Amino acid sequence: MDTMKVMRHGAMAVMAASTVALSSGCFAPAAEQPVNPQEIVQMNNADFYTDGKLDTKKCKAAYFEMMKKVGAPVYDVYKPDDGFLWTVDFGQGDFARFGMGGVFWVNDREHQYFGHEIFLLPGQSIAEHRHLPTTDDKGPLQAKHESWLVRHGSVYAFSEASKENKPNLDEFPEVVALLNDKQREVLKCTHVEKWEADGKLHRLYVPEEKGAVKETWHFMMGGPNGAVVTEFGCFHDNNGLRFTVPGASL
């Protein structure tokens, strides 16, 4: 498959992003519901920045609006500006396309388990990444293994590998075109699936090659109405996190 041909095709098929005015001059509302239920309308990236810096209040307000539209609870614990619900643009200044919100419910080194809530606006993507084994002062740590349950909305899940071993980017040109430009240039994930809030658990597919585990590149993008996703995994050691986009960071 000619990946660059797919990228060019996708770029031609990209939907126009809507420019959404700030509801109060301080907070950015979530993108409007698309007329076509399969269309993804991204927000205006400038609405999330103040004096060139990512504005957590604006980001969180957009997530809260999205959560209300998809029927997800907005817990009081999310609301204070204390970093419990954090937001990130991966240091790229493109939050509308290249960002996420999250809550680490638990990240337990001693007992080796992890629970994470992921918040994604329509068309917003986590940076493509993988997890490597590491060693800290307490000893070796395995590469993080993960599973996800879409609670509300939907996502497009990108992966380097699949059981079918079938690259299918050419089936999703309009979705690929919504990716951050830098991400498309270095994209390793050639398999895409759409996951709905249907009670199905999705595990990261990790093939074994000659007895050794291959750490799989992966990420997800918010669907037409955004998404709330619960992630289950073993302990997350940030030292084992790797991104494909140069300079990207959590």
* Predicted confidence (pLDDT) per residue in 175-207, tens digit: 999 999 999 999 999 999 999 999 999 998 877
Mean pLDDT in the chain? 86
> Do 227 and 100 touch, CB atoms closer than 8 A?
no
**Phi, psi values for residue 131, rounded to 5°:** -125, 130
Domain parsing of the chain, residue ranges: 3-243
Q: Under a CB-based contact definition with an 8 Å cutoff, are residues 213 and 102 in contact?
A: no
Asked which of 44-48, 50-54, 56-60, 110-114 is least confident by mean pLDDT, the reply is 110-114
What pLDDT, on the 0 to 100 scale, is given for residue 145? 86
**pLDDT tens, position by position, 72-117:** 999 999 999 999 999 999 999 999 999 999 999 999 999 999 999 9
Going by pLDDT thresholds of 50, 70 and 90, the confidence category of residue 237 is confident
**Number of alpha carbons in the 13 Å side-chain half-sphere of residue 71:** 6
User: Tens digit of pLDDT for each residue in 129-170?
Assistant: 999 999 999 999 888 889 999 999 999 999 997 777 789 999
The CA distances from residue 23 to 31, 45, 53, 58, 110, in Å, are 12, 15, 19, 10, 45
| pLDDT for position 121 | 98
Print the SS3 string covering the chain.
Answer: CCHHHHHHHHHHHCCCCCCCCCCCCCCCCCCCCCCCCCCCCCCCHHHHEECCEECHHHHHHHHHHHHHHHCCCCCHHHCCCCCCCEEECCCCCCCCCECEEEEEEEEECCCCEEEEEEEECCCCECCCEEECCEEECCEEECCCCEEEEEEEEEEEEEECCCCCCCCCHHHCHHHHCCCCHHHHHCCCCCEEEEEECCCCEEECCCCEECCEECCCCEEEEEEEEEEEEEEEECCCCHHHEEECCCCCCC
Looking from the CA of 44 toward its CB, the CA atoms found within 13 Å total: 12
pLDDT, tens digit, 9 for 90 and up, residues 3-41: 434 333 444 343 333 333 333 334 455 555 555 667 899
d(CA 170, CA 62): 31
pLDDT of residue 39: 86
Residue pair 191/92 in contact by the 8 Å Cβ criterion: no
Instruction: Look at residue 55 and tell me whether its pLDDT is greater than 90.
Output: yes
pLDDT higher than threshold 50 for residue 53: yes
Angle at 204 (CA atoms; ends 129, 227), nearest 5 degrees: 75
Q: Given this model, what pLDDT does residue 67 score?
A: 97
Domain boundaries 3-243, corresponding CATH code: 2.60.120.10
Residues 75-87: tens digit of each pLDDT = 999 999 999 999 9
Mean pLDDT over 64-69 rounds to: 97
Give pLDDT, residue 224: 96
Give mean pLDDT, residues 232-244: 91
pTM exceeds cut of 0.75: yes
